[in-house]
């Protein structure tokens, strides 16, 4: 295939350092980095290229790195969870794990001198963090109840794994996809409730029948960024499950070879689609695929409200159940991780799953073990029946660890909900998403109430504040919420939320 490369002179600075040395090259240098220490490392290697192996320098906590894993469909085993717990346990109070909005986990506190040994240990439990940051394809999301949901249309687990294996060369790292113009998100949905927020991905597959055959309609170009937020648009293509991996390959190659590389703020897939027009983009995908795409099926099968999977549910396998635990803002400490691994082994078959709402599911619990499982002390903190206000709370990392953050998020989100929960009673959950800056990692645009960090001026002082988003709908007829009020100082937020909850979500004051 011919590529239309951006002239070198107009490449942005990230493109220049990628052209000098591929990000994956740092894989061979980890022992060296461990010996010299983070302070002596080349800055571009330390601050940027290490992200190609999932190691993130944190300017907020210099010397304590974050490690972002890959976790196709959010599935992991008890051995893997225990290994992750052992890794963060070493860092004491500085170590913890955060479940992410892409069904993944990030570990905190990691030191560069430990990275080679950590990688050896991860290999033993068949886990990888490769290509999880920067201009790579992020964790690929799929239904968190794939294979166990009685109502699913298609079990997407194997497809999600195959797509990851194609992109990362089975976790070894794959130079064919290590220099995309920008990050890239893929979701594959096999359920009726769009549990993966398909519409906010660069490339998404949603279930759709054509002439009675199961397949997927393809959506392209969804993105949230500080510059622009758009829901994905239909490519007018229907794909048989057997062709999903190849279609992913073709779309990624088109993006790699033709995507814009001069202005980093305009480099996501949707900008390329704008530039080419949807028709020409589709034609290019066909060219790279070396076969025509079929037009999309008339309708997709996303016709349910989105489920959050918290609680106890019977599986499609008779006599087995899955239990969804609410993990407040996704934060796990080492002991929590050991406890979850033990529970998954004692009551289930050792498996666990993460959701995009930053919660955990333990599947495969026989009826006979259910009562004992539900009596576990961990469920006092990770409830199966949380207060409706806390139930759907999501938060990005915020200023505790993220240097893009304009505000602190996770602790503030929890404290606000606790105070409001003490004053108000609700019958239905309200989806409240916090995000620390306009990058929108906490997806405020898919929430009933979205709160995006900003700086505000009040009485001559600069304070932490939020812009208020409302109207995000998930599941069937998903659409993005919009900003309805700007610059609310965080110290004045509680009464604003209180009024909203009473007036628009039916909350009643507790007596
Ligand atoms: Fe994100 C950058 C955290 C999901 C849009 N995101 C970052 C960085 C890496 C910035 C940094 O280096 O500090 C954050 C790391 C902070 C830290 O220490 O944790 C970060 N993003 C996260 C996570 C952990 C939020 C969370 O608490 O769950 C999520 C990790 C997902 C994963 O497992 O891979 C996360 N980020 C998202 C999402 C949501 C999604 O994918 O559904 C988005 C919006 C969707 C999208 O990408 O279109 C998102 N993150 C961004 C952006 C804006 C991208 C853009 O095109 O401009 C940035 C900034 C960038 O890439 O330049 C960013
Ligand atoms: Fe950091 Fe901003 Fe993303 Fe939150 S939204 S994790 S503050 S980059």
DSSP states along 246-262: HHHHHHHHHHHHHS--S
Ligand 2 centroid, distance to 433 Cα (angstroms): 12
261 band by pLDDT with thresholds 50, 70 and 90: very high
Number of helices and strands in the chain (H, E): 14, 24
4 band by pLDDT with thresholds 50, 70 and 90: low
Ligand 2 centroid, distance to 443 Cα (angstroms): 10
Structural domains of the chain sorted by starting position, each given as residue range(s) with its CATH number in brackets: 180-308 (3.30.413.10), 311-385 (3.30.70.3340), 390-509 (3.30.413.10)
Q: Cα separation of 162 and 143, whole Å? A: 15
1 band by pLDDT with thresholds 50, 70 and 90: very low
pLDDT digits (tens, 9 = 90+) for 340-367: 999 999 999 999 999 999 999 999 999 9
DSSP string, 484-500: EEEEEEGGGHHHHHHHH
- Under a CB-based contact definition with an 8 Å cutoff, are residues 248 and 203 in contact? yes
pLDDT digits (tens, 9 = 90+) for 116-133: 999 999 999 999 999 999
Is residue 225 within 6 Å of ligand 1 at its C-beta?
A: yes
Q: Cα separation of 209 and 214, whole Å? A: 5
Q: State which of 197, 394, 434, 441 you would mutate to test the pocket of ligand 1, scoring each by most atoms of that ligand within 8 A of its C-beta.
A: 441
92 band by pLDDT with thresholds 50, 70 and 90: confident
Query: Closest Cα to residue 81, out of 351, 357, 382?
Result: 351
- Under a CB-based contact definition with an 8 Å cutoff, are residues 452 and 446 in contact? no
DSSP string, 55-121: EE--TTSTT-EEEE---GGGEEEHHHHHHHHHHHHTTGGG--EEE-TTS-EEEEEE-GGGHHHHHHH
Average pLDDT over residues 264-284: 98
Q: Cα separation of 222 and 201, whole Å? A: 5
Query: According to DSSP H, which parts of 169-218 are helical?
Result: none
Extended strands (E) in 373-510 = 394-395, 424-425, 432-435, 449-458, 461-470, 482-489, 508-509
Query: According to DSSP H, which parts of 114-243 are helical?
Result: 115-124, 157-168
Ligand 1 centroid, distance to 399 Cα (angstroms): 13
Q: What is residue 141's three-state secondary structure? A: strand
Q: Which two tokens stand for residue 19?
A: 């052209």
On the question of pLDDT at 5 being above 90, the answer is no
On the question of pLDDT at 3 being above 80, the answer is no
475 band by pLDDT with thresholds 50, 70 and 90: confident
Q: Which one is catalytic: 441, 453, 472, 481? A: 441
Query: According to DSSP H, which parts of 331-444 are helical?
Result: 334-347, 367-374, 388-391, 410-423
Cα-to-chain-centroid distance, residue 106: 11
Is residue 438 within 6 Å of ligand 2 at its C-beta?
A: no
- Under a CB-based contact definition with an 8 Å cutoff, are residues 168 and 144 in contact? no
């Amino acid at each position: 295939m011919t590529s239309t490369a951006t002239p070198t002179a107009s490449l942005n600075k990230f493109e220049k350092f990628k052209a000098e040395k591929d990000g994956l090259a740092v894989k061979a240098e980890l022992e060296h980095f461990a010996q010299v220490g983070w302070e002596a490392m080349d800055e571009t290697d330390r601050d940027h290229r290490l992200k190609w192996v999932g190691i993130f320098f944190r300017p907020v906590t210099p010397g304590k790195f974050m490690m972002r894993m890959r976790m196709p469909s959010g599935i992991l085993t008890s051995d893997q969870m225990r290994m992750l717990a052992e890794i963060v346990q070493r860092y004491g109070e500085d170590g913890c794990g955060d479940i992410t909005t892409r069904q993944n986990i990030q570990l905190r506190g990691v030191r560069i001198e430990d990275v080679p040994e950590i990688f050896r240990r991860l290999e033993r439990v068949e886990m990888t963090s490769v290509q999880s940051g920067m201009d790579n394809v992020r964790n690929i999301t799929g239904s968190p109840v794939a294979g166990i949901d009685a109502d699913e249309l298609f079990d997407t687990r194997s497809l999600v794994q195959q797509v990851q294996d194609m992109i990362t060369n089975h976790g070894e790292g794959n130079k064919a996809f290590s220099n995309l113009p920008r990050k890239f998100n893929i979701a594959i949905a096999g359920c009726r409730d769009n549990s993966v927020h398909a519409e906010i991905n660069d490339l998404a597959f949603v279930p759709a029948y054509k002439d009675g055959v199961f397949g997927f309609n393809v959506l392209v170009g969804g993105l949230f960024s500080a510059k622009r937020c758009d829901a994905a648009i239909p490519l007018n293509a229907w794909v048989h499950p057997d062709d999903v991996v190849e279609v992913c390959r073709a779309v990624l190659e088109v993006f790699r070879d033709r995507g814009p590389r001069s202005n980093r703020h305009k480099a996501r897939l949707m900008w390329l689609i704008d530039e080419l027009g949807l028709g020409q983009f589709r034609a290019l995908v066909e060219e790279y695929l070396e076969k025509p795409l079929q037009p999309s099926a008339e309708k997709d099968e996303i016709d349910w409200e989105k489920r959050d999977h918290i609680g106890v549910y019977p599986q499609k396998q008779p006599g087995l159940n899955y239990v969804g635990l609410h993990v407040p803002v996704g934060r796990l400490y080492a002991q929590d991780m050991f406890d979850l691994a033990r529970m998954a082994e004692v009551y289930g078959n050792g498996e666990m799953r993460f959701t995009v709402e930053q919660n955990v599911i333990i599947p495969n619990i026989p009826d006979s073990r259910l009562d004992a499982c539900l009596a576990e002390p961990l469920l006092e903190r990770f409830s199966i029946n949380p207060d409706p206000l806390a139930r759907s709370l999501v938060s990005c990392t915020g200023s505790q660890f993220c240097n893009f953050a304009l505000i602190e998020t996770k602790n503030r989100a929890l404290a606000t909900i606790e105070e409001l929960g003490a004053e108000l009673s609700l019958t239905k959950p309200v989806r409240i998403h916090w995000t620390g800056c306009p990058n929108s990692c906490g997806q405020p645009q898919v929430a009933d109430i979205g709160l995006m960090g900003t700086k505000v001026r009040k009485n001559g002082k600069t304070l932490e504040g939020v812009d208020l988003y409302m109207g995000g709908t998930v599941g069937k007829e998903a659409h993005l919420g919009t900003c309805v009020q700007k610059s609310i100082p965080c110290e004045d937020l509680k009464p604003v939320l209180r009024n909203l909850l009473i007036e628009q979500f039916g909350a009643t004051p507790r007596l």
